[in-house]
Structures are given as C-alpha cells and as structure tokens.
C-alpha cells in the first residue's frame, strides 16, 4: 500500500508543498483563521464584560433607594445624539415630576431580540438582572428631524418585571434649540410611565400637582415642538390635574383647551372625545359654581349628555350593566327566599 501511494506523495510534495501559490493561499487561510479566533475571543470578552457590568449595576441598585431608570441606545439615524439628550433631559427635569423621590439613571446595553423572543422579553430579562424599575429603548426609522419611536417597560413602583407595564409612543426631536420644552416633555413621559398615577388627577394631593400642571400648560402652549398624540396625552393629564386642583384659572384653561380640541376639524379618537366632553362639562360647572351663569350650565349639560350617549356604546360598560343586572336579580332571589321562609310559603 505505501508503494502504491508513493507517486501521489511525491506529486503532493513537489506540486503542492513547494508551490508558491499554494503556500500563499495557506498563509491567507491561516491569517483568516487567526482573525476569526481573535474576533470570537473579543466577542466573548465583550459579552463577559457586559455581564459583569450588569451584575455590578444590579448589586448597586439593590442597595440604592429610589427609582432605578435604565436608558438603552436609541438606534437609527441620529440615535446616539437622541440617547444622550434623553439622559440629559432626565437628569435635569425628572425630579420635577417625582415629588422629591430619589432616582438613579443608568446606561443599559442595546435591547436586542433573542431567537423567537421579541424586544419586550429582552427588556424584561434586563429588568430582572439590573434591579431597575424602568427601561427605555427606541428607534429612529428615517430622517434626522423626525421624532423617536420609544418603548418603555415599567414596574410602576411595585410590579414584578414579568408583569411590568408596557408603554409606546413618540419622543419629540430633542435639540439645544427646543430643549426648554422638549426636555421637559420627555422627562414627564418617563415619569408618567414610572408613576401611572400622574394621569389621574385624584391620585396625588393638589399642592403636589400644581407645579406639574403649570409645566404641562407651558408645554401645551408650544404645540409645534411636540407630536399630536403627545399633545393629547399632556392635555388629558393637565385637565385631570386641573379639575382636581380647582380654581378659576385652571378651570378656564381646561375649558379653553377642551373647546379647541372639540372644535378642530380632525377626527378625534372616541376615548379622547369622551374625556374631552366630560372635562369641559365639569370645568364649565365649576366656573358656574364660582360665578353662576345659566348659559355655561346648559353648555356643560349638553357636553355631558353627549358623553353619556357615547359611553352607552362602550362594550365594557355594556358588560358591566349586564353584570349589575344579574347581581340585582340574585339579590332579589335571596330576598324573596328569605321572605317566603319567614311566612312559611314556598319558593317553588
């Protein structure tokens, strides 16, 4: 057998081993293999460093009081600048909306999908590992002047990461020229996700809400700097706060804002229109209580009646009405049973 392979071995040694071409290809292959090994080692090292960093951050968060807020990179054109701007906005303005509660802002790694799991699953995993209360990430699809599409996963103060509340929306373009408004808007939207009670004016005391309400009014006076959807959110929250605070100034502002929205030519979402009419009706009744005006009272009643008619078509309220009727039927049956048992009669 070795004798039969001798010609082949000789040919290999003379034609392949001694060939400059094959020697060069072998050198290139060895170099590529070496680069692959280095790249793999660097990737594993980076992953290890990130894991250690997250672990250290987790330990730090467990020993720190207050809210932990993580900001992941916003990807897309201009995403790096917007990420830095979001962090700056939170550092500068978030304290205005947390009512003195301490907070810590940390930089999170980019939120990536893992296999069939989506971004939200990755965000939940990060919340569990980092012990933060909220993680924010986003994307910019096209153009450097467009708003950022942002997603937030928030434990809302007490929820487990697996049950965290998910929010999505748009952050306005954050620039040095408009930062007086847009930075506060971004900080408020994060605070709103962190403390959902901000959208309910009765969740906090009026004296706490008044400075926040004044900030929202200032933002609403500059509609060009924010998206329409964001403007509606701010208008809803301000109206809820103002009605709880009371006073002629706030009630007048609510009436003005809600009238403008209802009189616009654009088609309003039904839920927004219902809230707008209820808020306008309540504001007008509040103003009439300060200085009686029958015209205001009639206008308030008109808006409230329209809101009631719109609510009648709501499936949830219809289900609640059916459930309430069933409960009343059960109570009536128990009452009849008790009456018949006392009188010796029969319920059959």
pLDDT at 288 over 50: yes
User: Do 103 and 143 fall into the same domain?
Assistant: yes
201 vs 71 pLDDT, higher one = 71
Cα separation of 194 and 333, whole Å? 46
| Beta strand pairing call for 67-75 and 134-139 | parallel
What CA–CA distances, in Å, run from 346 to 326, 330, 334, 341? 23, 17, 13, 7
User: Do 190 and 207 fall into the same domain?
Assistant: no
Query: In this structure, is residue 204 part of a structural domain?
Result: yes
User: Do 224 and 110 fall into the same domain?
Assistant: no
pLDDT, position 59: 43
Query: In this structure, is residue 104 part of a structural domain?
Result: yes
* Mean pLDDT value of segment 192-218: 91
pLDDT, position 164: 92
pLDDT at 64 over 80: no
Identify the domain boundary among 149, 181, 198. 198
212 vs 65 pLDDT, higher one = 212
Query: In this structure, is residue 14 part of a structural domain?
Result: no
Query: In this structure, is residue 151 part of a structural domain?
Result: yes
| Beta strand pairing call for 165-171 and 134-139 | unpaired
Q: Where are the alpha helices (DSSP H) in 19-145?
A: 20-62, 79-93, 119-130
Identify the domain boundary among 198, 224, 240. 198
User: Do 237 and 167 fall into the same domain?
Assistant: no
Query: Strand pairing partners for 167?
Result: 152
Query: In this structure, is residue 15 part of a structural domain?
Result: no
Identify the domain boundary among 198, 225, 253. 198
Q: pLDDT digits over 213-268, tens only?
A: 999 999 999 888 888 999 999 999 999 999 999 999 999 999 999 999 999 888 88
pLDDT, position 346: 45
Query: In this structure, is residue 35 part of a structural domain?
Result: no
List the domain range (segments joined by +) for residue 330: 317-343
What CA–CA distances, in Å, run from 199 to 210, 234, 310? 14, 9, 22
User: Do 75 and 89 fall into the same domain?
Assistant: yes
Lowest mean per-residue pLDDT among 61-70, 106-115, 267-276, 285-294: 61-70
pLDDT, position 348: 43
- Taking a C-beta distance cutoff of 8 angstroms, is the pair 216, 227 a contact? no
User: Do 66 and 124 fall into the same domain?
Assistant: yes
User: Do 122 and 221 fall into the same domain?
Assistant: no
The number of domains in the chain is 3
* Mean pLDDT value of segment 323-343: 71
pLDDT tier, 50 (very low <50, low <70, confident <90, very high otherwise): low
pLDDT tier, 47 (very low <50, low <70, confident <90, very high otherwise): confident
Q: pLDDT digits over 127-182, tens only?
A: 988 889 999 999 988 766 788 999 999 998 788 989 999 999 999 989 888 889 99
pLDDT, position 347: 42
User: Do 58 and 153 fall into the same domain?
Assistant: yes
* Percent of the chain surpassing pLDDT 70: 82
Query: In this structure, is residue 251 part of a structural domain?
Result: yes
User: Do 204 and 178 fall into the same domain?
Assistant: no
pLDDT, position 30: 75
Strands ordered across the beta sheet of 67-75: 103-107, 67-75, 134-139, 148-154, 165-171
pTM of the model: 0.76
pLDDT tier, 337 (very low <50, low <70, confident <90, very high otherwise): low
Q: pLDDT digits over 310-323, tens only?
A: 888 878 777 877 88
User: Do 185 and 217 fall into the same domain?
Assistant: no
pLDDT, position 265: 83
pLDDT, position 344: 52
* Mean pLDDT value of segment 59-72: 72
Query: In this structure, is residue 36 part of a structural domain?
Result: no
Compute the mean pLDDT over every residue in the chain, rounded to the nearest whole number: 84
User: Do 330 and 246 fall into the same domain?
Assistant: no
* Mean pLDDT value of segment 188-197: 93
User: Do 181 and 161 fall into the same domain?
Assistant: yes
């Amino acid at each position: 057998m070795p004798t039969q392979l001798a010609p082949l071995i000789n040919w290999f040694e003379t034609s392949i081993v001694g060939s400059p071409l094959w020697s060069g290809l072998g050198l290139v292959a060895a170099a590529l293999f070496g680069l692959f090994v280095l790249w793999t080692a660097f990737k594993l090292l980076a992953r290890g460093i990130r894991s250690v960093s997250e672990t250290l951050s987790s330990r730090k968060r467990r020993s720190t009081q207050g809210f932990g807020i993580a900001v992941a990179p916003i990807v897309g054109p201009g995403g790096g600048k917007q990420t830095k701007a979001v962090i700056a906005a939170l550092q500068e303005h978030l304290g205005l909306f947390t009512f003195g509660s301490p907070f810590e802002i940390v930089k999170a790694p980019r939120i990536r999908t893992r296999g069939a799991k989506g971004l939200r699953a990755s965000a939940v995993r990060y919340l569990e590992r980092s012990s933060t209360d909220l993680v924010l990430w986003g994307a910019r699809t096209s153009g450097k002047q467009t708003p950022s599409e942002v997603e937030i996963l928030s434990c809302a103060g007490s929820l487990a990461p697996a049950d965290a509340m998910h929010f999505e929306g748009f952050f306005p373009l954050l620039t040095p020229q408009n930062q007086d408004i847009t930075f506060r808007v971004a900080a408020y939207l994060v605070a709103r996700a962190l403390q959902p009670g901000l959208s309910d004016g009765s969740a906090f005391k009026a004296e706490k809400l008044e400075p926040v309400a004044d900030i929202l009014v200032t933002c609403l006076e500059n509609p060009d700097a924010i998206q329409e959807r964001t403007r509606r959110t701010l208008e809803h929250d301000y109206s809820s706060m103002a009605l709880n605070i009371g006073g002629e100034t706030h009630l007048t502002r609510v009436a003005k804002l809600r009238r403008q929205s209802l009189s616009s030519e654009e088609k309003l979402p039904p839920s927004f229109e219902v809230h707008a009419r209820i808020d306008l009706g309540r504001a007008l009744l509040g103003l009439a209580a300060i200085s009686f005006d029958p015209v205001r009272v009639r206008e308030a009643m008109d808006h409230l009646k329209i809101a009631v008619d719109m609510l009648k078509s709501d499936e949830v309220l219809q289900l609640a009405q059916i459930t309430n009727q069933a409960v009343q039927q059960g109570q009536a049956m128990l009452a009849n049973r008790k009456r018949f048992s006392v009188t010796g009669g029969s319920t059959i």
